[in-house]
């Protein structure tokens, strides 16, 4: 029953991508998402695919782990593709039509376009969480958001909240396991019956869980005070993030990708009739 979800889906390795600064990775992933949305021509996906393959190789994460994330959203991808095929309007080259249903080449291409876009988005963001611990992600976000302190956003408090949530999720999950075992030992049945019956069976789990969570929160608040939380606005930092050459390389590669997409957008625009504005 031991699930160490502290590390989320983090895949420990000592790779190029792992060693990058979390801030750089966060910025790169945001830029990458923008790039994927910029794509107007199906050919650009070749560029994105090349970039992704390079990133996966540079992260030493097994391809299987990366593809697992795609499997999770496959249903959504297929569903949106089907909807797109049937509800795309304005296509001209009709492939098939029956009664009110009309399928056009444009609709098929558009569906493919959206499906690829979704898949590439998910792979890119998954790679971030596979190569960065949640703790590092939190540090990175805190650092990136620090300018918001100027407009009185409590960035540091938010970071502490994230960090405490990360710390307590595994504890609470373990607690759920314990309570469920205890209830099962008393004859509780969580597996059979309809939805309502099962939801009802969970009630005796939730109530003790909540009671214990509040008790923990009480003690944690004391512990935060005992550690002089908010003693000074001039808080120092133990972990320092450092940008390195790897981050520069990442930025350059992504810049090349965006340039490539822009070039493809410009030269293929309308040429093959495959292009669609967003």
Partner 1 sequence: MGIIELKNVSFDYESDNTLSRGVKNLSLTIEKGSFVVLLGHNGSGKSTLAKLLNGFLLPGEGDVFINGINTKEKERIFEIRTKVGLVFQNPDNQMVASIIEDDLAFGPENLGVPRDEIIKRVDWALDAVKMSEYRSGTPYKLSGGQKQRIAIAAILAMLPEILILDEATAMLDPRGRAEVMETAKRLNKENKMTVIHITHYMDEAIDADEVIVLNDGEIAIQGSPEFVFGHPEIIKEAGLELPTATKVAGLLREKGFDIPLVLRDEELAEAVCQLR
| Contacting residues toward partner 1, per CB under 8 A | 4, 6, 134-135, 160, 163-164, 166-167, 170-171, 216, 219-220, 222-232, 234-240
Q: How far is CA 181 from CA 1, 102, 184, 205, 263, in A?
A: 11, 55, 5, 10, 60
CB 176, min distance to partner 1, A:
15
Q: How far is the CB of 161 from partner 1 (least distance, A)?
A: 11
Closer CB to partner 1, 89 or 236, in the complex:
236
Residue 90 near residue 106 (C-beta atoms within 8 A): yes
Nearest distance in Å: CB 4, partner 1: 6
Q: Which is nearer to partner 1, 3 or 71 (CB)?
A: 3
Q: Which CB atom, from 228 or from 278, has the smaller least distance to partner 1? A: 228
Phi/psi-derived region of residue 262, left when phi > 0, alpha when psi is between -120 and 50, beta in every other case: alpha
Separation CA 57–CA 128 (nearest Å)? 13
- CB 119: neighbour CB atoms within 10 A? 19
By beta-carbon proximity to partner 1, the closer residue of 152 and 234 is 234
**Distance (Å, rounded) from C-alpha 135 to C-alpha 129?**
11
Q: How is the chain split among helix, strand and coil, in percent rounded to 5?
A: 70, 5, 25
Instruction: Supply the minimum distance, in Å, between the C-beta of residue 22 and partner 1.
Output: 14
CB of 258 to partner 1, least distance (A): 35
Nearer to partner 1, 195 or 226 (CB): 226
């Amino acid at each position: 029953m031991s699930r160490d979800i502290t590390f989320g889906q983090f895949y420990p390795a000592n790779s190029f991508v792992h060693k990058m600064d979390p801030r750089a990775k966060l910025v790169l992933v945001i830029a990458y998402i923008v790039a994927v949305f910029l794509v107007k021509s199906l050919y650009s996906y070749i560029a994105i695919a090349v970039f992704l393959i390079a990133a996966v190789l540079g992260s030493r994460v097994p391809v299987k782990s990366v593809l697992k994330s795609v499997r999770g959203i496959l249903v959504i991808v297929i569903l949106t593709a089907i909807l797109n095929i049937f509800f795309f309007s304005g296509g001209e080259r009709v492939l098939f039509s029956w009664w009110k249903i009309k399928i056009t080449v444009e609709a098929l291409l558009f569906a493919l376009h959206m499906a690829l876009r979704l898949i590439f988005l998910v792979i890119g963001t998954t790679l971030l969480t596979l190569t960065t611990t949640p703790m590092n992600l939190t540090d990175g976000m805190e650092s990136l958001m620090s300018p918001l302190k100027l407009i009185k956003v409590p960035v540091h408090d938010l970071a502490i909240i994230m960090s405490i949530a990360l710390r307590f999720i595994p504890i609470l999950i373990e607690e759920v396991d314990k309570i469920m075992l205890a209830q099962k030992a008393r004859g509780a049945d969580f597996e059979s019956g309809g939805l309502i019956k099962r939801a009802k069976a969970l009630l005796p789990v939730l109530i003790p869980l909540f009671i214990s969570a509040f008790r923990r929160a009480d003690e944690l608040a004391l512990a935060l005070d005992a550690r002089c939380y908010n003693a000074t606005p001039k808080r120092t930092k133990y972990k320092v993030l450092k940008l390195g050459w790897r981050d520069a390389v990442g930025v350059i590669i992504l810049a090349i990708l965006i340039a490539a997409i822009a070039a493809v957008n410009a030269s293929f625009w309308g040429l093959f009739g495959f292009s669609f504005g967003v």
